[in-house]
Amino acid sequence: MQRVFSGIQPSGIPTLGNYLGAIRNWIKLQDDHDCIWCVVDLHAITVWQDPAALRQQSLEMAAVLLACGVDPAKHILFLQSGVRAHAQLAWIFNCVARLGWLNRMTQFKDKAGKDRENASSGLYVYPNLMAADIHAYHATRVPVGDDQRQHLELANDIAQKFNHDYGVEFFPNIEPVILGPAARVMSLRDGTKKMSKSDPSDQSRINLNDDADTIALKIRRAKTDPMPLPSEVDGLADRPEARNLVGIYAALTDTDHASVLKEHGGQGFGPFKNALTDLLVEKLAPITAETSRLLSDQGALIDLLRSGAERAAAIADPIVSEAERLVGFVGLRRG
């Protein structure tokens, strides 16, 4: 069975973008893969996180993943800081990846913004840690949203250079799994910007813990244009906000843009937004309820994550020890 790895940052409440672009696809892969799901707290601190908030958000993120259907008995769920192998392999990868490669990363440019000199060095080497997350398990399939494509290409470049430099075939090639009509969910306020947990405007996103009234209000206020929905997919070109709402509807109903337009084409946004709100409430309410239930027993949640970290370390430690040996470390820890 192929091994799957993916991660999500506990840098806020997960959004509909995280859910439709990534988490839902994680759940689908669980049937016929060995899956490792990770809440990546080491990545989160590449930008400032209040310590108490980070702790709470890490547990909340784990609870949301369980509520969405992550199966911790058949698969592994843990917090990244619980397995030291990630940081150990990341250091080796810091020495394999070239500055020129990192300079091309568009997410660094977006996140660092104009004040690049003041960004943390962790933010710069963020993709190296991400490569380490995946390669520490010899995972070969990685389900993500479209925004992670460039990082996964870099993870393959790092693996190839490591294999080449040390004359081995140690790290396998990884295949991005980027699926569905919502691989890039856009902001509700601006159809050209990605929906993000860290956007300063809460109106720009649906959070997985929004209640029915909040969802209704955000969808009612979502930016649209004055024309009715087209009946053909071509009619969505140059209408990013319309394309986004149709894509969200399609993902929630497991169809595609064309089928949604067949049903709703010619309609104004008023009735379509009502139908979308009903659908969102129907899908998200059980997740919110289950998340609160799981968070009411934090001790049990921490035990579950600790056991996940132990099982993850049992896979990653020997792989990273072997990478260290290949590099030429004497390996005192192996006794």
- Indicate which residues carry an active-site annotation: 111, 194, 197
Closest approach of Cβ 298 to ligand TYM, in Å? 22
Closest approach of Cβ 235 to ligand TYM, in Å? 22
Q: Based on the shown chain and the rule CB under 6 A, indicate whether residue 130 belongs to the binding site for ligand TYM.
A: yes
Q: Based on the shown chain and the rule CB under 6 A, indicate whether residue 147 belongs to the binding site for ligand TYM.
A: yes
* Beta carbons within 10 angstroms of residue 240's beta carbon: 16
- Which of the ranges 47-55, 130-138, 219-227, 278-286 carries the binding residues for ligand TYM, by CB under 6 A? 130-138
Q: One-letter amino acid identity for 84?
A: R
Q: Based on the shown chain and the rule CB under 6 A, indicate whether residue 288 belongs to the binding site for ligand TYM.
A: no
Judged by DSSP in three states, 216 sits in: helix
- Which of the ranges 126-134, 215-223, 273-281, 306-314 carries the binding residues for ligand TYM, by CB under 6 A? 126-134
Closer to ligand TYM at the Cβ: 133 or 324? Answer: 133
Closest approach of Cβ 330 to ligand TYM, in Å? 29
Rg (Cα) of the chain, in Å, rounded?
21
Q: Return the closest-CA partner of residue 59 out of 315, 224, 303, 334.
A: 303
Closer to ligand TYM at the Cβ: 108 or 269? Answer: 108
Backbone angles phi, psi at 93, to 5 degrees: -65, -30
Half-sphere exposure of 289 (CA within 13 A, CB side): 7
Closest approach of Cβ 191 to ligand TYM, in Å? 12
Which pair of structure tokens corresponds to residue 208?
A: 């997985």
Closer to ligand TYM at the Cβ: 105 or 294? Answer: 105
- Distance (Å, rounded) from C-alpha 285 to C-alpha 214? 12
Half-sphere exposure of 249 (CA within 13 A, CB side): 25
The residues in 19-78 that bind ligand TYM, with binding defined as CB under 6 A, are 21-22, 40, 43
Closer to ligand TYM at the Cβ: 25 or 224? Answer: 25
Q: Based on the shown chain and the rule CB under 6 A, indicate whether residue 6 belongs to the binding site for ligand TYM.
A: yes
The residues in 176-205 that bind ligand TYM, with binding defined as CB under 6 A, are 183-185, 194-195
Sheet with 141-143, edge to edge strand ranges: 76-79, 34-39, 3-8, 141-143, 175-177
Closer to ligand TYM at the Cβ: 46 or 224? Answer: 46
Q: Based on the shown chain and the rule CB under 6 A, indicate whether residue 248 belongs to the binding site for ligand TYM.
A: no
157 close to 228: Cβ distance less than 8 angstroms = no
Contact with ligand TYM (CB under 6 A): which of 4, 5, 158, 323? 5
Residues contacting residue 204 through CB under 8 Å, at least 6 positions apart: 187, 188, 189, 190, 193, 195, 196
Give the DSSP H/E element, type plus range, for residue 124. Answer: helix 121-124
The contact set with ligand TYM (CB under 6 A) reads: 5-9, 17-18, 21-22, 40, 43, 130, 133-134, 142, 144-145, 147-148, 183-185, 194-195
